[in-house]
């Protein structure tokens, strides 16, 4: 039907999906999440403790010097560029079947691997981005400034385009579709960089923005003077820049991961099969579903952040953005719960395909379903608890004294809602 297609399954990667987690695991996770939430609201500290200005413990100065040395930057940039060329070569001239590493590179290494790398090391896409390297090689000039009013909206759109290809497009595994997506991405990002400068990459490149968002949960960070330091991630989280579209970015990430679970359910598949007469209608319904999931997350978060007394109009408008960082741990926890086996097992497979090695993939996680289920529930609950703590602390800083308890309730309920939905979807309904 489709000459360039590899498989027609969601993710375009083939292979099996994780077993649903057992009901008891989901219930225990939900009970912990609920208990902890109300313990935090009612019993935890009453004065804000986390401060993005608090410097972390400095690492030796040679670390910063090495990381910032132009040699390091250029080397890493050129490595990123060479990797891009290599993957591009494989995409066009490699085997046009399931042995092509492109879907794995795209859906596993770039999407999930980026989260893991950004969490451990900080925003690595900045140094690896081929667009940034090309832009710098050609003199780094720009025609005008980045329009500040756009904020992160172009990135939110780019992220939606990514999850659309993965979860709603007719054939996510098609090499041609992935190639086209990447070519459009490269053209748009390069054009943006040459028109608006490197700031385009920082605000509009979906991968870089995803990396920046996730890196706020990292222990490694930079102090105000630029020194690389290690500190409490809760101090780092509130340093997320609040710009237009930041809630949309996080909502697309959380909503799409939930839709990924949801759309694999047999009820949804049967519904699509019965309702949609053609592949185009199926794509439309899936697109609407994906969009609805992102909108539900955005809408509930926006409402919950604003649902407090004692603030004026202006402050209320600012609240969703100021609370947005508290969604980061929930997103990261859910992404790991959902894609851990993809990262570890498909990641191995992709690397072997790229290197042309014929090595057997180690399926340790899939072979131990109870370990995997424990890890998944652990990630979701840990993400939830961290999100609740971050939101509580921020509420203490933002809300007037008289409304600090009641003003948090809606946000806590929204977060409990996300986590219960997440666990329910992992359990499989």
Where do contacts with other proteins occur on this chain (CB under 8 A)? 1, 7-9, 14-20, 98, 264, 266, 269-270, 273, 279, 345, 361, 363, 366-367, 369
Nearest residue (CB) to other proteins, 8 versus 375: 8
Note the residue count of the chain. 429
Looking at the Cβ atoms of 1 and 43, the one nearer to other proteins is 1
d(CA 258, CA 255): 5
Residue 230's DSSP bridge partners are 57, 220
Least distance from C-beta 161 to other proteins, angstroms? 23
Task: Tell me the closest approach of the beta carbon of residue 186 to other proteins, in angstroms.
Answer: 29
In angstroms, what is the minimal distance from the CB of 256 to other proteins?
Answer: 20
CB of 422 to other proteins, least distance (A): 18
Euclidean distance between CA atoms 309 and 33, whole angstroms: 26
Least gap, CB of 366 to other proteins (angstroms): 5
Q: Which is nearer to other proteins, 19 or 230 (CB)?
A: 19
CA–CA dist 59, 225 (Å, integer): 13
Record the tokens describing residue 56, joined without a space. 């972390």
Other beta carbons less than 10 A from residue 39's beta carbon:
12
Helix, strand or coil, per DSSP, at residue 260: helix
Nearest residue (CB) to other proteins, 67 versus 264 = 264
Q: How far is the CB of 108 from other proteins (least distance, A)?
A: 14
Closer residue to other proteins, CB minimum distance, 16 or 66: 16
Number of Cβ within 10 Å of residue 353's Cβ equals 21
Nearer to other proteins, 2 or 406 (CB): 2
In the sheet where 57-58 sits, what is the strand order? Answer: 57-58, 228-230, 220-222
Distance in Å, CB of 363 to other proteins, minimum = 5
**Could you tell me which of 172, 196, 168, 170 has the C-alpha nearest to residue 286?**
168
Q: Is 9 or 242 the residue whose CB approaches other proteins more closely? A: 9
Q: Which is nearer to other proteins, 243 or 376 (CB)?
A: 376
**Rounded least distance, CB 257 to other proteins, Å:** 17
Helices marked H in 44-174: 61-68, 70-93, 102-104, 114-121, 125-128, 130-137, 153-167
Cβ within 8 Å of residue 107, ≥6 positions away: 11, 12, 13, 166, 172, 342, 346
Distance (Å, whole) CA 56 – CA 220: 9
CA distances from 292 to 86, 156, 285, 345, 411 (A): 37, 15, 10, 30, 20
């Amino acid at each position: 039907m489709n000459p360039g297609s590899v498989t027609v399954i969601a993710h375009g990667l083939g292979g099996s999906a994780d077993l649903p987690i057992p009901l008891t695991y989901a219930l225990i996770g939900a009970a912990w999440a609920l208990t902890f939430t109300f313990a935090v609201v009612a019993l935890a500290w009453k004065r804000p403790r986390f401060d993005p200005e608090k410097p972390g413990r400095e690492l030796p100065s040679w670390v910063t010097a090495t990381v910032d040395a132009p040699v390091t930057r250029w080397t890493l940039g050129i490595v990123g560029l060479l990797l891009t060329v290599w993957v591009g070569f494989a995409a066009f001239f490699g085997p046009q079947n399931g042995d092509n590493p492109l879907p794995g590179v795209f859906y596993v290494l770039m999407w999930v691997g980026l989260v893991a790398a950004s969490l451990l090391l900080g925003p690595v896409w900045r140094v690896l981005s081929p667009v940034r390297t090309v832009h710098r090689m050609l003199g780094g000039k720009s025609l005008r400034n980045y329009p500040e009013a756009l904020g992160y909206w172009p990135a939110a759109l780019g992220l939606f385009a990514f999850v659309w290809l993965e979860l709603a497009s007719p054939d996510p595994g098609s090499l041609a579709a992935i190639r086209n997506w990447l070519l459009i991405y490269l053209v748009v990002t390069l054009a943006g960089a040459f028109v608006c400068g490197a700031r385009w990459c920082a605000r509009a490149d979906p991968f870089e923005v995803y990396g920046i968002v996730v890196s706020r949960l990292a222990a490694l960070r930079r102090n105000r003077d630029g020194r690389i330091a290690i500190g409490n991630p809760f101090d780092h989280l509130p340093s997320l820049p609040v710009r237009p579209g930041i809630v949309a970015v996080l909502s697309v990430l959380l909503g799409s991961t939930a839709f990924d679970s949801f759309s694999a359910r047999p009820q949804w598949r049967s519904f699509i099969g019965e309702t949609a007469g053609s592949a185009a209608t199926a794509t439309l319904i899936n697109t609407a579903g994906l969009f609805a999931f992102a909108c539900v997350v955005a809408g509930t978060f926006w409402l919950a952040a604003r649902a407090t007394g004692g603030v004026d109009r202006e402050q209320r408008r600012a609240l969703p953005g100021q609370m947005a960082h508290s969604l980061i741990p929930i997103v990261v926890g859910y992404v790991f719960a959902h894609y851990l086996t993809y990262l570890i097992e498909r990641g191995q497979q992709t690397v072997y395909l790229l290197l042309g090695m014929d090595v057997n993939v180690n399926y340790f996680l899939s072979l131990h379903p109870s370990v995997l289920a424990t890890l998944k529930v652990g990630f979701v609950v840990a993400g939830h608890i961290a999100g609740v703590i971050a939101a509580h602390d921020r509420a203490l800083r933002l809300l007037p004294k008289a409304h600090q308890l009641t003003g948090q309730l809606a946000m806590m309920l929204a977060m409990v809602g996300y986590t219960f939905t997440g666990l329910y979807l992992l359990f499989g309904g």
